[in-house]
């Protein structure tokens, strides 16, 4: 059974379960400001990017490092819903992996958002998500979901900030408890569900 937090609470352990962070309900054409300090390009991943994405995740040090094969699979078979950020020297400095769940036609699920240490604090994570939502493959998306651990404050801020930019709400509920993982030491994971929104209303303007 789903329980709910009071608005403003932050998930800390498995005794807490959900919250809703609301943004203004009045909607218009939404303009999301793009930081001018980002000197990167966004593109779809290609097969050979899998190795560099794995290295990026390893360098970042804050995300679960999956097998190299999993990133090769993402780049090859999920390129329509994954985004590469590449700097002017061709280095992969950002990556978003996502997919469209089979059970929810209007939702995009974001698996990982990785930003190189050289690009942190510049708004790259949110820019990667905007790039994803602007894809033709996300034209009918009304909700974005991701799971976040209780100690991952930067990711919590990222998704709450995106909800604010999109002038919609962010519902937070338990997804996976600690005891569902095969080894001790893995935190629980909480679903951040952002929406509803309309991707066709999302435009960008450079600061």
pLDDT digits (tens, 9 = 90+) for 136-192: 999 999 999 999 998 889 899 999 999 999 999 999 999 998 888 887 778 899 999
Q: pLDDT at position 202, please?
A: 62
Distance CA(43)–CA(48), nearest Å, equals 13
Query: Is residue 6 domain-resident?
Result: no
Look up the CATH number of the domain holding residue 29: 3.40.630.30
- Number of folded domains that form the chain: 1
Band of residue 7 on the pLDDT scale cut at 50, 70, 90: very low
Query: Is residue 12 domain-resident?
Result: no
Q: pLDDT at position 132, please?
A: 95
Query: Is residue 36 domain-resident?
Result: yes
Query: Is residue 150 domain-resident?
Result: yes
Is it the case that residue 111 has pLDDT exceeding 60?
A: yes
Q: pLDDT at position 157, please?
A: 94
Q: pLDDT at position 52, please?
A: 97
Q: Higher pLDDT residue, 77 or 178?
A: 77
Helices in the chain by DSSP H: which ranges? 50-60, 68-77, 124-133, 153-165
Query: Is residue 2 domain-resident?
Result: no
Query: Checking phi first, is residue 175 left (phi over 0); if not, alpha (psi -120 to 50) or beta?
Result: alpha
Query: Is residue 73 domain-resident?
Result: yes
Q: pLDDT at position 179, please?
A: 86
Band of residue 201 on the pLDDT scale cut at 50, 70, 90: low
Q: Using alpha carbons only, what angle is made at residue 199 by residues 193 and 204, rounded to the nearest 5 degrees? A: 110
Query: Is residue 202 domain-resident?
Result: yes
Query: Is residue 108 domain-resident?
Result: yes
Domain of 108, in residue numbers:
18-206
Maximum Cα–Cα distance across the chain: 50
Band of residue 14 on the pLDDT scale cut at 50, 70, 90: very low
Concatenating the DSSP letter of every residue in 36-71 gives: TT--EEEE---GGGHHHHHHHHHHH-SS----HHHH
Question: Is the model's pTM score more than 0.85?
Answer: no
Look at strands 143-148 and 107-115 and give their pairing. Answer: parallel
Report the SS3 class of residue 147.
strand
* Cβ burial, residue 176 (10 Å; 0-12/13-18/19+): middle
Report the SS3 class of residue 182.
coil
């Amino acid at each position: 059974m789903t329980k709910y937090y009071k608005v403003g609470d932050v998930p800390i352990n498995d005794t807490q379960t959900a919250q809703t962070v609301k943004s203004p309900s009045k909607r218009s054409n939404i303009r999301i400001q793009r930081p001018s300090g980002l000197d990167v390009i966004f593109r779809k991943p290609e097969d050979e990017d899998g190795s560099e994405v794995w290295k990026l995740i390893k360098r970042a040090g804050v995300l679960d490092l999956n097998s190299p094969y999993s990133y090769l699979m993402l780049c090859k078979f999920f390129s329509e819903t994954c985004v590469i950020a590449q700097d002017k020297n061709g280095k992969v400095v950002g990556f978003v992996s996502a997919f469209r769940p089979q059970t929810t036609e209007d939702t995009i699920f974001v698996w990982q958002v990785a930003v190189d240490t050289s690009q942190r604090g510049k708004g790259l994570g949110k820019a990667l998500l905007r790039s994803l939502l602007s894809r033709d493959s996300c034209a009918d998306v009304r909700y974005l979901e991701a799971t976040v651990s209780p100690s991952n404050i930067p990711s919590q801020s990222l998704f709450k900030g995106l909800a604010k930019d999109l002038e919609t709400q962010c519902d937070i509920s338990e997804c996976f408890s600690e005891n569902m993982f095969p080894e001790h030491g893995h935190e629980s994971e909480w679903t951040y569900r952002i929406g509803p929104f309309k991707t066709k209303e999302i435009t960008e303007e450079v600061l």
